[in-house]
Amino acid sequence: MIIKGIKQLFKKIKTKLPDKRNFIFNFIKKNSVCCEIGVWKGEFSELILKKNNPAKLYLVDPWKDFGENYFDKKHVKYRQENQNQRYNLVNKKFKKNILKKQVEILKMTSQEAFSELENIKFDFIYVDGNHQYDFVKYDIDNYFKLLNESGYLIGDDYRIDAVQKAVNDFIQTYKPKNFFVKNDQFILQKN
Ligand SMILES: C[S@@+](CC[C@H](N)C(=O)[O-])C[C@H]1O[C@@H](n2cnc3c(N)ncnc32)[C@H](O)[C@@H]1O
């Protein structure tokens, strides 16, 4: 009971604080072609829409329960009924944007979405899907190629060891023009 109350209080405080990712939008050009890998309840997607007013925003998430060992967080959060609720919420939240074709939802993994997106050039790709090494490495290796010349690939949770290792291994091989970390976000700039 007390723990639930404290959790709710933290949640309330968190929603009142400015998003730690606001700074990203200082260097992403307005009306960009964007993609978010890992959407959850669409909270960061809302921020992209508000701050960037993208020409197009692709939202990639399977909203699927892949079982115990797939996620780095508590499995209960990913039970299919919870995933369904989040998928429905996101569809509802962005109904108008979907109708005017500003937002497109790809209900699939980033691996499955790749063939749908591989001919598009992106200004901004946000990587925040499965946080285990192989998945993060896959997302960065493959989606970085889809950036246009001045594009940015940014990802969340750099504090997590697996994420950090995937990013560092990527940098060793691809040597992007720019790499820095701020507020737990890793920022990779193409050219
Ligand atoms: C940390 S949450 C995303 C949070 C969201 N970016 C935000 O900031 O509001 C991670 C999401 O990644 C999704 N996910 C898991 N594996 C994935 C994959 N292979 N491709 C794309 N999304 C994945 C999960 O379903 C979950 O909704």
**pTM score:** 0.93
Q: Using CB atoms within 10 A of its CB, is residue 147 exposed (0-12), middle (13-18) or buried (19+)?
A: buried
Domain range list for the chain = 24-189
CA of 148 to the centre of ligand 1 (A): 23
106 forms beta bridges with 60
Mean pLDDT across the chain, nearest whole number?
93
CA of 76 to the centre of ligand 1 (A): 15
Report whether pLDDT(22) > 90: yes
Give the span between the Cα atoms of 30 and 40, in whole angstroms: 24
> Which ligand 1 atom is nearest residue 110's CA?
20
CATH architecture of the region 24-189:
3-Layer(aba) Sandwich (3.40)
CA distances 122 to 15, 24, 82, 86, 87, Å, are: 29, 15, 30, 26, 24
CA of 180 to the centre of ligand 1 (A): 22
Report whether pLDDT(76) > 90: no
Q: Which residues line ligand 1 (CB under 6 A)?
A: 36-40, 43-44, 60-63, 109-110, 128-130, 135
Give, for ligand 1, the residue of 37, 40, 83 to mutate: max count of ligand atoms closer than 8 Å to Cβ.
40
CA of 83 to the centre of ligand 1 (A): 10
pLDDT band at 72 (very low <50, low <70, confident <90, very high): low
CA of 63 to the centre of ligand 1 (A): 8
Give the span between the Cα atoms of 93 and 107, in whole angstroms: 15
Render pLDDT for 96-149 as a digit per residue (tens, 0 to 9).
999 999 999 999 999 999 999 999 999 999 999 999 999 999 999 999 999 999
- Residue 157 half-sphere exposure toward CB, CA atoms < 13 A: 16
CA quadruple 183, 53, 153, 191: dihedral sign: negative
Render pLDDT for 157-168 as a digit per residue (tens, 0 to 9).
999 999 999 999
Give the span between the Cα atoms of 150 and 145, in whole angstroms: 12
The pLDDT assigned to 13 comes to 62
